[in-house]
Chain A
Amino acid sequence: MRAAVRRLVATIVEWMVDAPRAVAALSMLRAVIGFVSVVLYLRHYSKRWLFYGPDGVYGLDGIRGYAAESGTWSLYAVSGSPAFFEIVFHVGLVVAGLVTLGVGGRLVLAVHYAMLWSLYMANPAFMDGGDALVCTGAIFLLLTRCYSAFTIVKPRPKFKNSLVVSALNNTGLLLLATQVAVVYLMAGLYKVQGELWQDGTALYYILNVPEFFLPGVTPHLVHHDWLMVLGAYATVLASIFFPVLVLFRAGRPVAVMTMLTFHLAIALLMGLTSFALVMAAYDLLFVSSHVEDMRRRVRVLSARLATKVRMRHLVEV
């Protein structure tokens, strides 16, 4: 018995400190966080003054009041100067682009967090669960080697991973994994208590809320009773069992594939594209080797394609 416990402890210690784990999936999460942030900046670019400006819907006093009430801060609360607002907004946009492309390392990621948090606090009405996960992700990714892949910058020559670097990376990874497990578990357990989820009619109501309604599609979908009921029950069961399934290696691909399907449906039918993308990137942390495989295949394919193009060009010349 004692030997078994010792072996288990040794395995856990080895996993924690011998090498940074899941760096491909962590890098993908970093790129996704950058990408959805760029989209958030650009999507409302023409109305940035109305949504975030010192004279916008919250206004300078409103932003200051909200930040003070929440015990936080926002760079947009520092000054009411139009030039200052433009500088903060545009620096935020550029930094989000750098994070997406994997340029600048974790220092730029930290700056991105500060800029993005400030933006959220300038208009908290825009925030959803996906944005809260973006914040959590950006903070925990600071501990990790999330610039090892999915970057346009040539990776630095490989250096020996120290125990500390590995331990920090793996702590960050486990924090992110814990976060997503808590999200699914709580979302699932709260749904179990809901009458509409028990009745199997919750999806009917959600899809008919004007903000999530998809003209031309929703009216047809909600007439399929079985689809609505099974969809509602599958949502609850998949959420609750996700944290359990990912504890076992064999259960991970099943759990992740199920949730990816679920998020694809959310993105298409409800228009919650950013939320779905961020959740999918979190899910992929549990199958990093598959992410690495996919990345390798894409690289091989693109290298082959580039060679073909070059050959054709040479023949033509």
Chain B
Amino acid sequence: MKRTFLASAGLGVVAVFGACAVVLAGPVTPITFDVGSAASILNPHLSQNWQLFAPDPISDERGVVARFRCGPSSSPWIDITSTAIAETQSSRFFPPRESRIVSNALVERFAQDDVTKRLEDRGRDDLLPRVDASASRAERVLGRYAVRLGSCPSDETGESVSPSAVQLRYVTRALPPWSERGHESARGEPEVFESDWIPL
């Protein structure tokens, strides 16, 4: 009796975990609305997001440049993406993860959940949420990171000037399509989006 009870208890736990994991990892369906809140007992320690380059992987190059407000003027733009990418490319085994600060913040800044995406597709911009907490957190992280990589030029007296705000410029450029691979000229035109000034 004890043996059967122990086996059943163990298998029961496994079954509940498996069901919750499938609900959380799967697409949003009517079932998600019914049992999603119960399944989210797994979050955040056993979170389930396994899209892994799916449904469609990134097919463009993304980067960020930043400039600082230095008193009444602003500094030149500095690239806060390329150095970390070069470090990642130069080390194949356990490469440094620094480049993820920018790439992850970019994903977080422009991320849309399933419902938001559908609203946008249907032209219901009036129902779209405003820039949410995760987007502003992403900008804050990028701003703080930018300050570690660059700063304001010194003033005429040689005194260093502390930046009071940072502005980010997001640049995306499509990779050459499959049919024109190898032709650098086939890359798309860069698309640019600028943030507001973010106080530091």
Describe A's contact surface by its main secondary structure: helix
Nearest A residue to B57, CB-CB: A206
Contact of A210 with B85 in the complex, beta carbons under 8 Å: yes
- Contacts known (A57-B145, A117-B45, A211-B103); A167 close to B10, Cβ less than 8 A: yes
- CB < 8 Å neighbour of A187 from B21, B52, B133, B145: B52
Contact of A197 with B145 in the complex, beta carbons under 8 Å: no
Interface of chain A residues 146 through 203 with chain B (CB within 8 A) = 163-164, 167-168, 170-171, 174-175, 178-179, 182-183, 185-187, 190-191, 193-197, 199, 201-202
Nearest A residue to B54, CB-CB: A190
Q: Tell me the complex Cα distance, A128–B53, Å.
A: 12
List chain B residues, Cβ under 8 A from A194.
54-57
List chain A residues, Cβ under 8 A from B89.
210, 213-215, 271
List chain B residues, Cβ under 8 A from A58.
141, 144
- CB < 8 Å neighbour of B55 from A170, A190, A211, A268: A190
Nearest B residue to A181, CB-CB: B18
One digit per residue, 1 when the CB lies within 8 angstroms of any chain A CB and 0 when it does not, for chain B 114-139 equals 00000000000000000001000100
Nearest B residue to A168, CB-CB: B10
- Contacts known (A178-B14, A186-B26); A125 close to B6, Cβ less than 8 A: no
One digit per residue, 1 when the CB lies within 8 angstroms of any chain B CB and 0 when it does not, for chain A 19-60 equals 000000000000000000001000110010011000011110
**Chain A-chain B contacts (Cβ-Cβ < 8 Å), number:** 192
Contact of B43 with A197 in the complex, beta carbons under 8 Å: no
Q: A251 on the interface (CB 8 Å rule)?
A: no
Q: Tell me the complex Cα distance, A56–B21, Å.
A: 33
Q: Tell me the complex Cα distance, A175–B88, Å.
A: 34
Nearest B residue to A166, CB-CB: B6
One digit per residue, 1 when the CB lies within 8 angstroms of any chain A CB and 0 when it does not, for chain B 81-109 equals 00001001101111111111101110000
The stretch that binds B, out of A92-100, A131-139, A289-297, is A131-139
Q: Could you list 8 examples of A-B contacts with CB < 8 Å?
A: A9-B4, A44-B98, A72-B45, A171-B11, A183-B25, A205-B57, A211-B88, A273-B93
Q: Beyond the given A43-B96, A191-B54, could you list 14 further A-B residue pairs with CB under 8 A, ordered by the A residue number?
A: A13-B3, A17-B7, A44-B97, A51-B101, A129-B52, A136-B46, A163-B3, A190-B55, A204-B181, A210-B89, A211-B100, A222-B182, A271-B93, A273-B92
